[in-house]
Structure 1
Amino acid sequence: MFRRLYHWTLSWARSRHAPAALGTVSFVESSVFPIPADVLFIPMCAARPERAMSYAFLATVTSVFGGIFGWFLGFYAFDLIARPLLEFYGKLHAFEALRAEVRADVWIILLLLVTSGLAHLPPMKVVTILSGVVGFNLWVFILSAIVARGARFYGLGWLLQRYGVAILAFIEKRLSWIAGGVVLLALVLWYFLKAHA
């Protein structure tokens, strides 16, 4: 099953519609969607390493525009759109705790923008909406988003461009072990979260 899913993902990553899907996911991930763009970006770069830098540019630009959209949601439409969205994802309590901690502190928001842009911690949509809610300077926000998201996508793109073929060969040979490791990790995470709920 995992092998079929893996090959389906790779074949789809080579399709002519993949860049449009990557742009869409990168945009909505930064403002409303919980799944990171890496789900498409990594297999696309691994399948076509020669296009990794163009994919990185596309993902960076659309992610930054999505972040700007999230900022505007927080600034102009928090109660109307952003609050129900955060409630839907079960993130409102965490958001309010983060909001109380930040209180428009420029350095904390910058740190959150960098960590969410590079490693999705906390999720990008939470930080973009928070930045708008507290009225964080839009131009500094845009600059930090360009730097953080660009570093992530171009860094990943460079690695996949350089080692994409080797990475695919490694995955092909050890797919069962990798799938088992992912399932085990998911079970451990589920148990940990349940035990500390």
Structure 2
Amino acid sequence: MLPGIGFASFLESTIVPIPLETILLPLMQARRKQLVAISAMALAGCIFGALSGYAIGYYIFDAVGEQIVSLLSSQEQFEIAKQQMQQKGFWFVMSVGILPIPFQIAMLAAGTLKYSLFLFLIATTISRAIRYYGLAILVYLAGNQAQKLFERHKKSTSIILFVVVAIIWYLSLS
């Protein structure tokens, strides 16, 4: 089961734009004794997926980039992501990693712009750890009600997390 979670997370962060939470929440509820292991495998799969997306952007974007962008988004959205990546870098990756929006464009933009791999991986790890371990904490605290709570509050929680990241980013500039 754990390798499957890692593989699903890899796919979610590379080619399948369906939030992993739809799989993780029920699984975590069914296997509460493995919350940390499930979260760790989801994080590991995401990091490997992020590395793959970064590498595609870094090494072979000129050859396959247009096709990938057209599958995941639009060229206009990709250009906006590249601008955000150039201006905000770490904090852009953090916000995209936390929010329930596709992460693929941020990975490609980071690789294409040759953004620091170290900072990219740190931002990816922190943001996705917040998501996956946050789900584990929710299941630990709410038990069988976790799915309902998540569905009811996912938009407001995403907004709160985005605001927190924005505040930390702003304070880091001061």
Query: TM over 0.5, yes or no?
Result: yes
Counterpart of 2:121 in structure 1: which amino acid?
Answer: I
Corresponding residue to 1:109 among 75, 86, 89: 89
Identity of aligned residues (%): 22
1:154 maps to what in 2?
133
1:78 maps to what in 2?
61
Superposition CA RMSD, Å: 2.1
1:163 maps to what in 2?
142
2:100 maps to what in 1?
120
More off after superposition, 29-38 vs 62-71: 29-38
**Deviation per residue, 1:70-120 (Å, 9 max, x gap):** 110111111323321221234332112332x23623xx1212211121113
CA contact (8 A) 1:49 1:162 kept: no
1:91 maps to what in 2?
74
Corresponding residue to 1:133 among 102, 112, 115: 112
Counterparts of 1:1-197 in structure 2 under 5 Å?
18-99=1-82, 101-102=83-84, 104-105=86-87, 108-121=88-101, 123-167=102-146
Equivalences, count: 150
**Deviation per residue, 1:4-30 (Å, 9 max, x gap):** xxxxxxxxxxxxxx4333211211222
Residues 134 and 83 of structure 1: CA distance in aligned 2, closer, same or farther (over 3 Å):
same
Matches of 2:34 and 2:92, distance apart in 1: 30
CA contact (8 A) 1:56 1:153 kept: yes
Matches of 2:22 and 2:41, distance apart in 1: 15
Residues 140 and 84 of structure 1: CA distance in aligned 2, closer, same or farther (over 3 Å):
same
CA contact (8 A) 1:25 1:37 kept: yes
Matches of 1:26 and 1:103, distance apart in 2: 23
Q: Which runs of 5+ in 1 are unaligned?
A: 1-17, 172-177, 179-197
TM normalised by structure 2 equals 0.77
Residues 81 and 32 of structure 1: CA distance in aligned 2, closer, same or farther (over 3 Å):
farther
